[in-house]
Amino acid sequence: MSDTATGAPPGHSSDGELPPAQLAAKYGLTQSGARPTLPGYVRQLWDRRHFILAFSQAKLTAQYSQAKLGQLWQVATPLLNAAVYFMIFGIILGARDGVPGGKHNYVPFLVIGVFIFTFTQQSVMTGVRSITGNLGLVRALHFPRASLPISFSLQQLQQLLFSMIVLLVILLGFQEWPTWRWFLVLPALALQFVFNIGLAMMFARMGSKTPDLAQLMPFVLRTLMYASGVMFPLHAMLTKNTSAPTWVADVLQANPVSVYMDLMRFSLIGDYSIHDIAPHAWWLALGWALLFGVLGFVYFWKAEERYGRG
Amino acid sequence: MAVAEQGAIEDSKPAGEKIPTVICDDLHIVYRVFGGGGRGSATAALNRIIKRQPSPRMREVHAVRGVSFTAYRGEAIGLIGTNGSGKSTLLKAVAGLLPPEKGKVYTDGQPSLLGVNAALMNDLTGERNVILGGLAMGMSKEQVRERYQGIVDFSGINEKGDFITLPMRTYSSGMAARLRFSIAAAKDHDVLMIDEALATGDKKFQKRSEARIRELRKEAGTVFLVSHNNKSIRDTCDRVLWLEKGELVMDGPTDEVLKAYEKETGK
């Protein structure tokens, strides 16, 4: 190195003998496709925020563009689901009885449950496919790959916001009048959104390595649906109608999906009191969001340079 | 010590020194393909997953085998070779889009591949695709807004009526290709890589896009061009890399390499 400093003849003749690594170092070239640092990664993502938003909106628009009813399906699908559950669980299996405040709250209870569960469910399902389903994009353009799972979760959030309009109509129809407590919807949704992003990023990395997960996830998610009390009051059902020990009901009630669902019901249904949902529900909601948000992000970032291979 | 070295580099620059922009050092790229060939029962597959054995259905394709070269600022380099020789794979690896199995790629800044096809959605209008494509390439919102009209005009989509507000799936293949190229070519690049982009659209549009590529070359430090059209390689490149079966067969001045290539392929 010192002979460069003491005046080796200028020109590329001396460069030709340098090994590639040293030549690269000399001219400040960096390794292509190397993983950025964690703060650097966050900065890159922030720079791409407009792309993330535009991509999620584009996906949302493109989703039903071939259907005649178009965007209407965004809310029709969860509503039809709710109608099926109402028949089976509400009427035939009698799940209406344990709902806080009585039978007349069952429809809002059910619709909130279905909407909130769909939000997490779809974030996971699109998350699993977010890398494998967009390999063309990953292999053609340079962008922080976390943009994809985040974008898909954002798409689901926008979809949920559409559904909230329908929910509002249903609430008013069942004589739930707006109160100040309705504003609690905002922190509850924000926390669930962070939780969903973390989960989506986790599954995005796993799905990129094992595409078979996309086939397996519907079953895992259906189990989660029954274990979270989407269409029946979980705690009441388990403690009154079955011989399951109380701690099982307590544990199930503390699972993240159940917590976010109960917080929404608590915020929107007047008959709900804080005792009807899991103890320390807000702290649980915050904890789940932080845990999954941070873990999911770091886990996804660790494999950043490997997405798109194979 | 560090300062002295810095000085030496500064001094040597004006003397017509070639500054490297891309260094490829013994690069190997391997694709892993699932479900390519091989048979097996479902229970055998389950057994493999449990025992964590690699699937026999997963085949490895060694697309690039030990390629080394150094590209310098101001060069336009053509990549030639028969179909499946690893040209596009090599470009993607230089762009940092495919992780190398072995070896390293060093680059000056972020090389970009001229191609946004994957980001565009057929169900969206041309208008929204211009915006989405621009953002996907890393342009800022303001840049996209500034260049929007230029992109639409360049593509000539609106020459026959207001087509930009129609979904892209209604476009003819030529129109869609023109719009894609216009979006891709709207960004400034340090190291620019073009993969068979010149064969798009009608004669008029081809002329326009060739002119745009020359412009991009002036702005960019180094240009890579993959093409099967030897004429366009001759017109635009001063150096050619010839790849065959993932290996670098020849690296040299355009005329020399093309002559050997044409002799080999019997053209």
Name the H helices within chain B.
Answer: 2-12, 42-51, 87-94, 126-136, 141-155, 173-184, 203-219, 230-236, 254-265
Residues 184-213 of B with CB under 8 A from A: none
C-alpha angle B64-B69-B74 in degrees, rounded to nearest 5:
125
**What does the pLDDT average to over B216-237?**
79
Indicate the residue of A33, A34, A54 with minimum beta-carbon distance to B135.
A54
Is pLDDT larger for residue B19 or for residue A282?
Answer: A282
Q: Helices (H) and strands (E) in chain A — how many of each?
A: 15, 1
Taking Cα atoms as reference points, which of B79, B172, B45, B34 lies closest to residue A309? B34
Helix (H, G, I), strand (E, B) or coil at A1: coil
Contact B111, B22 (CB under 8 A): yes
**CB-based contact (8 Å) between B61 and chain A?**
no
Flag whether pLDDT at B14 surpasses 50.
Answer: no
**CB-based contact (8 Å) between B148 and chain A?**
no
In the CATH scheme, what is the code of domain B72-265?
3.40.50.300
Nearest CA in chain B to A138: B97
Contact A29, B21 (CB under 8 A): yes
Task: Lowest mean pLDDT of A19-23, A208-212, B126-130, name the range.
Answer: A19-23
Compute the nearest-CA separation of B264 from chain A (Å).
Answer: 30
Element (H, E) at A108: helix A106-132
pLDDT reported for residue B125: 87
Q: Residue B74 to residues A46, A119, B140, B238: CA-CA distances in angstroms? A: 33, 51, 27, 10
Which tens digits make up the pLDDT trace of A153-190?
999 999 999 888 889 999 998 888 888 989 999 999 99
Structure tokens at B17: 């020194």
Residues 67-96 of B with CB under 8 A from A: 68, 70, 92-96
Indicate the residue of A23, A59, A65 with minimum beta-carbon distance to B20.
A23
**What does the pLDDT average to over A232-251?**
79
Chain B CB contacts of A26 under 8 Å are 9
pLDDT reported for residue B54: 61
Flag whether pLDDT at B181 surpasses 70.
Answer: yes
Taking Cα atoms as reference points, which of A266, A254, A271, A294 lies closest to residue A105? A271
Chain A CB contacts of B15 under 8 Å are 10-11
- Cα B205 to chain centroid distance, Å, stands at 20
HSE-up of A258 (CA within 13 Å, CB side)? 23
Chain B CB contacts of A62 under 8 Å are 121-124
Contact A141, B119 (CB under 8 A): yes
**What does the pLDDT average to over B191-210?**
73
**What does the pLDDT average to over A220-238?**
86
Mean pLDDT of chain B: 78
Binary contact (B12, A26; C-beta < 8 A): no
Query: Domain extents for chain A?
Result: 1-30, 37-306
Binary contact (A58, B128; C-beta < 8 A): yes
Task: Give the global pTM.
Answer: 0.80
Instruction: Let me know how long chain B is.
Output: 267
Mean pLDDT of chain A: 85
Bridge partners (DSSP) of residue A154 are none
**What does the pLDDT average to over B75-103?**
85
Q: Residue A116 to residues A96, A258, A270, B99: CA-CA distances in angstroms? A: 19, 9, 18, 38
pLDDT reported for residue B2: 40
Binary contact (B15, A31; C-beta < 8 A): no
Binary contact (B112, A142; C-beta < 8 A): yes
Q: How confident is the model at residue A16 (pLDDT cuts 50, 70, 90)?
A: low
Binary contact (A55, B33; C-beta < 8 A): no
Helix (H, G, I), strand (E, B) or coil at A95: coil
Binary contact (B121, A139; C-beta < 8 A): no
Compute the nearest-CA separation of A276 from chain B (Å).
Answer: 43
Chain B CB contacts of A7 under 8 Å are 8
Q: What is the share, in percent, of chain B residues with pLDDT greater than 70?
A: 82
Rounded to whole angstroms, the Cα distance separating B262 from B199 reads: 20
Interface predicted TM-score of the whole assembly (ipTM), two decimals? 0.77
Rounded to whole angstroms, the Cα distance separating A161 from A115 reads: 10
Compute the nearest-CA separation of B267 from chain A (Å).
Answer: 32
**CB-based contact (8 Å) between B166 and chain A?**
no
